[in-house]
Structure formats: C-alpha cells, structure tokens
Chains A and B, each alone.
Chain A
Amino acid sequence: MTERTLTVDSRSHPSGATVLTVSGELDHHTAGQLRAAVEGAPYPPAGTVLDCTGLGYCDSTGITVLVTAYHRAQAAGSPLVLAGLSADLLRVFRIVGLDQIFSYRPTVDAALEALAP
C-alpha cells in the first residue's frame, strides 16, 4: 500500500472570504487532516471557498468531510463554494446527489467572483 498524503492550507482573501486549499489524496488515512481544518475554519460571512484543484482522489470518507464543511458553513451562514473539482469527482458528486447541495466553480477566482456581493 502506498502512503497517501494530503496538505490543507487556509488563507484569508482580501474580500474577507476564507480559502481552504486541499491538495493530494483524500481518503480514510488522510481525511483527519481535512476534518481538523474544516472544524477549525472561521466561516466568515463573506464566504468560504474549498479549493479542490489539487485534489487527486477522494473516497467515501473524504466525501463525509466535504459534507461536514457544508454543514458547518450552513450553520455559520457562510456561503460555501467548491472550486476546481476534477471531472471524476464531479461525476461522483452527480451520482451521490451532492451536486444538488454544493455550489461549484471551475477555479478559485470564479468561486470568489461568485461570492462577491
């Protein structure tokens, strides 16, 4: 079994939105890292972008964490937009019906634009 790695980076955009950048492989070995970041994110009123451009793989545990982010953002009243989902992940989202609850944009810039008042 190869070692899977994941990095999560959180930064504040000048618009006030938070951008969480996830890179690597999101599975039950690495999901804890994103879970911690998702639990600790500020969810500002200006919105939250979850940048998945560098996300190569996402298994069922990973999906749980993405839905946790959705719940947290909803509870905090912070609009959440996913950015840069791969074609494979979009396809999985459609199959599991998550395309109905998530907003998504192809890039972080487009996501920030969607959040702009």
Chain B
Amino acid sequence: MHGTPYAPPRAPADEHGRLAAVHRYGILDTAPDGPFDRVASLAARLFDAPMATVSVVDADRVWFKAVHGLDGVRQVERLPGLCSSAIEQSEPYVVGDALTDPRCAGHPLVTGGPRVRFYAAAPITTPDGRRLGTVGVLDSRPRTASADQLAALGELAALVMDELEGRRAAADALAVERRMRTDAERLARTLQRTLLPPVLPAVSGLDAAAAYHTASLDEVGGDFYDLFPLHDGRWAFFLGDVCGKGADAAALTSLARYTLRAAAIHDPDPCAALATLDSVLKGEYQDGDPRYCTAVFGVLRPAADGSFDVVLAAGGHPPALALRADGAVRPVRTTGGQLIGLLPAPHFVRAALRLAPGEALLLYTDGLTEARTADGGMLGEEGLADHLGPLVPRDADALLAAVDTLLGGLGDGVSDDTALLALSVPARQAPLLPTSRTAPPAQENR
C-alpha cells in the first residue's frame, strides 16, 4: 500500500485551504441577517422559483446563512450533487432535472423534503479564488436557466462576497484597535506602577503604609505618593492625583513626583514645594492644553516624646483625615487650597497637627471619596470618617485594610483609581510610662 498517494474522492483541490478561508470569514453559525436574506429572496425572484439559499460549505455540512422558501432548514449533510458540487467549479452549476441527472439523483433534498428537481448555483468566491459556498436557486419542477439569469446569480454571489469582505475588514480593524488599545493601556499601567515607590522606607518611630487601588482595567489613572528623608532628620511625604488618564497622565505623574522630590531638597516648606510644582507644570504645558494635579505635601518632625509634628499643605486636594487617640476622626482642613498648574496665582493652604502615639493620618485621592454608595450619593469625607471611626488599633496597616474593605463593599461605585498613604505613631508600650497615661484609648464613647 505504501507509496500510493492518498486522494480523497470528490474533495475540491486544496480543501484544507478552502476550509481555512471559510473559518477566516467567521460566518458559520451566525444568526440570519438582512443583507443575506435579501440576496436569497432576490435570487428566488430572479428565477421565479420557490426556494433559494445562501450557503457555506463546511467540512462535513452545507450550512445556510439565508434560506428563502425552505423554512426550518439550517444545514444539510455535505453530499455530492447540489451545493457541494457547485463549489467545485468557478462557473454557475445547473441541474435541469434532478431525477434524470446522475450527479444528484440520490441527494436527500431530491429524494425527500422539498423534492428538488431544478437547481442552479453560483459560487461565492474569495478574492484569492477560494469558493466558500453558493447562492443557489431551487425548484420542485424541472426547468432551464437563461444565460442572463445565471449571470445575475453570479452577481448576487459576488455581492455576498463583498459583504463578507466588508465585515471581515471591519472585524479586523476592530481587533487591531482593541489590541493596540490594550497594549497602550498595559504600557501606561506598567509605567504608572514604576512611578510608585515599590516599598516605603522605614521611619524610626512611625508606621507607614501605602496602597494603590485600580478602578478600571482600561483606564489608567495618575495617582502618586512618596515618603522620603530630608537631610536634617525630618521626613517629607506627598500624595496626589493628576488630571486625565493613560500615558499622558503617567507622564504628568512622573513630572509631578520628581518635581516634588527635587523641590523638597531645595525648600521643604510645603507651600513652597507646591508652588514649585505649579510653576513647573505651567512651564511644561503652556501650549493651550493645560494639565494640573492636586496634591498634599507634608513634613514630619519627630518630637522628643515619640510624637510627630506634621506640617502639610494642599492644593485642590480633599482633606487628610487624622484619627485621634480619643476615637475622633477629624479632617485636616486645607479647604481653599487650589488646583496646581492651572490657575494664575493659586492659593495653597497649610495645616499643622501633632500625631501622638496611637494616632494616625490618612491621605487619599478623590477616587475614594467620590465613590458612589448604594444610595447613589458620594461617599464623601464624612462617610469615610464614619467608616474609620470605630477602627482599633489606629495603625497604618489596619487603616489600609479598613479602606480596602470599604472599597470592596462599594464595588462598581468606585470609578476612579485611589491612592492611599497612612502614617501612624505606634501606641506607647505600657511598661515604659506606667503612670503617665491619662486614659485608655476611648472607644467606649461610641
């Protein structure tokens, strides 16, 4: 046996390539739709015949994209004689009387069902010569087809091909666009992540934790934060949010972050640092497409008693929240501080506070407070404060865990990225100062 070339009977030349073309157009098993239904109906009218089809020949079946007068028939077995034979030639295929034509006398549509006697079909041919299927006309009476009718049938098959080409081009364009968009977003996200410190530095006597919550996979926000030492034993921190999304926002984030770090070396005064950022943003985006950010910038000074003195300033940013040892959650008011990089002479507002042992400070971006609650309203700083009020212990990690739970509960209500930076001073160890504690951390007042 070996050495004998295998030749499947009756399969068109390069059936493999033809089937690949059928699948490339993605037409098989799609729902009926207008243009193809109209082609079938036009074909029937052209021949004054009761039945017509737009068919696609799959590996083992003939599947009908459109049928006219053959109700309920969606596909038939791929048997020689009708459509399966019609795609073997480039010219229209005609059976004048099926009962006397040996090519199709045994076909189930001839011996049963509609008892087809007449069949004429023109192949649907791709630009590279693959015949996907046919536009066919069927009658239960024997008859002839004129050259004009067959030419018109060929035109209808060409029309089907044009429609399939158009759809494939549109689908391809969409796929390319989607892929490019996904790539761009992935790149922007990667870039955005590189703009955040991978780990926060260890600050003696202070717990610090940060988190970045992503709201949407296809829109990258531009939130940023950092915590870093100044040369004199103090520490600086900032957290902010740039306008816009995607790669542009990532570039702006990078600029904002490095500007604030450089500004802090020059002059760590919080208002001065924000003013420097304002000037840099205005200089960078002066071509009529202004960009801005909101930010909180602060400086931490360790005090002798283990507390930290905090001086901060904000521009256009929601207020940080101070979690006090007595159970209160109070906004650190910086209302009136304006957007950075957008206004002629922006005003930044300074605030000072002391973080005692057992107390914490939470900085966040507006993705958190502008999230929608179940009743449709914004969470707001009040809603956030209410959620954090009962928190024990008031340390940085617990704070971020509580916000994480809150965001998880809001689900789809969160529409923007949220950056979080939590700073807390560990509660004093009882043995160190056994007599000086005035009161236990008061949770009982709630």
Contact = CB atoms under 8 A, between A and B. Distances in A.
Interface of A: 1, 28, 59-61, 63-64, 67-68, 88, 91-92, 94-98, 100-101
B292 interface: yes
A68 B243 CA distance: 14
Interface stretch (B228-236, B314-322, B398-406): B314-322
B339 A63 contact: yes
B88 interface: no
A95 B366 contact: yes
Contacts of B338: 96-98, 100-101
Interface of B: 216, 218-219, 241-245, 290-292, 294, 315-318, 335-339, 342-343, 346-347, 366, 370, 378, 380, 416
A94 to B, nearest CB: 7
Contacts of A1: 216, 218-219
Given A1-B218, A64-B290, A98 B339 contact: yes
A34 to B, nearest CB: 14
Contact of B342 (A64, A94, A95, A100): A64
Main secondary structure of the interface of B (DSSP, over half): loop
B291 A64 contact: yes
Contact of B292 (A59, A64, A94): A64
A97 B378 contact: no
B403 to A, nearest CB: 18
B245 A95 contact: no
Contacts of B378: 88, 91
A61 B336 contact: no
Nearest to B285: A64
Given A67-B290, A91-B378, A97 B244 contact: no
DSSP class of A's interface residues: helix, strand, loop or mixed?
Answer: helix
A69 B178 CA distance: 34
B343 A95 contact: no
A97 B346 CA distance: 9
Contact of B316 (A68, A88, A91, A96): A96
Given A60-B244, A97-B316, 5 more contacts: A60-B242, A64-B291, A64-B292, A67-B339, A96-B338
A83 to B, nearest CB: 21
A68 B245 contact: no
Contact of B347 (A28, A91, A92, A100): A100
Q: Which of A61, A64, A91, A97 has the most CB of B within 10 A?
A: A97
16 contacts: A1-B216, A60-B243, A61-B243, A61-B244, A63-B243, A64-B290, A67-B343, A88-B378, A95-B318, A95-B366, A96-B294, A96-B317, A96-B339, A97-B315, A97-B335, A98-B339
Contact of B335 (A64, A67, A94): A94
Nearest to B338: A97
B243 A95 contact: no
A63 B338 CA distance: 12
Contact of B336 (A60, A68, A92, A97): A97
Q: Which of A60, A63, A91 has the most CB of B within 10 A?
A: A60
A82 B241 CA distance: 25
A28 B245 contact: yes
B414 to A, nearest CB: 14
A91 to B, nearest CB: 7
Contacts of A101: 338, 343
A97 B216 CA distance: 27
A95 B359 CA distance: 25
- Top-8 shortest CB links A-B: A97-B338, A60-B243, A96-B316, A96-B339, A67-B342, A95-B318, A97-B316, A61-B244
Contacts of A28: 244-245
Nearest to A95: B318
Nearest to B293: A60
Contacts of A61: 243-244
Contacts of B316: 95-97
B41 to A, nearest CB: 34
B163 to A, nearest CB: 26
